[in-house]
Amino acid sequence: MAGAFPLRKIRLVLARGSGRGEVDRSDGYEFQAPLNATGRIDLEAFKHARKTCWVHRIRDGDVVMGESTAIMQYLTETYGPTKLALKPGHPRFADYLQFVTFGEASLSAYMNPVIATMFGAPDGQKENFTVEAAKGMFIRRLGALEKKLDEGDYLAGDFTAADISVGYALGLGEGFGLGERYSAPVKAYSERLKARPAFQAAAAK
């Protein structure tokens, strides 16, 4: 139950590359969650405290933001230039913009009712029409992703923030058992993203 593990304020501090100076501990994501004795989020307690367990913001000095893809664009523009963000005039700029947004708006958004039902619905209602419809729409949206992957290993030429956006959504789908329904090209793309050294380093922490 929620009372067994009190809510803890958690901050994920932004990593900075060399030459970017010291990290301000007030910068980064902030959220609350119930932690168990090992310091991990307790899922059973989370069910009873979910209304207060969301990411509140990302803070960068006086800037406070809450939309994930907007945060990513803010970071790449503010602390760039970076190869992760393409500029107008680049031949793949339109693809970049399309898939930076696609990961959140066309994929992750469909997982919201799935997540809400998984953690909030009574045991007898966790599998219902809405959940299955949302999963189906998520899978159908992958057709656009697969078509774009016919053009190369990544969505806008080289690896960019568009792949971060879509890669997160694919990982979210895998976490709810949809990975087995991905086509071979989409599965290969997801594995390619997870094989990148930066992803491996982050996953090991």
Question: How are beta strands 7-12 and 55-60 bridged, if at all?
Answer: unpaired
* pLDDT score for 40: 67
Question: Which residue would you say has higher pLDDT here, 40 or 146?
Answer: 146
Of the given ranges (14-18, 34-38, 135-139, 156-160), which has the lowest mean pLDDT? Answer: 14-18
Asked whether 105 and 71 are in contact (CB, 8 A), the reply is no
Q: What is the CA angle 98-67-8, rounded to 5?
A: 140
Task: Label residue 101 exposed, middle or buried (CB < 10 Å: 0-12, 13-18, 19+).
Answer: middle
Q: Identify the H or E element spanning 60.
A: strand 55-60
% of residues, the chain, pLDDT over 70:
74
% of residues, the chain, pLDDT over 90:
48
Nearest to 157 by CA among 105, 73, 86, 104: 86
CA distance 42 to 39: 9
Taking residues 130-153, what's their average pLDDT? 96
State yes or no: pLDDT of 183 exceeds 80: yes
For the chain, domains (ranges, CATH) are 2-66 (no CATH), 93-203 (1.20.1050.10)
Taking residues 73-83, what's their average pLDDT? 92
**β-strand partners of 31:** 10, 55
Asked whether 178 and 139 are in contact (CB, 8 A), the reply is yes
Taking residues 80-107, what's their average pLDDT? 95
* pLDDT score for 2: 41
pLDDT tens figures, 145-171: 999 999 999 999 999 999 999 999 999
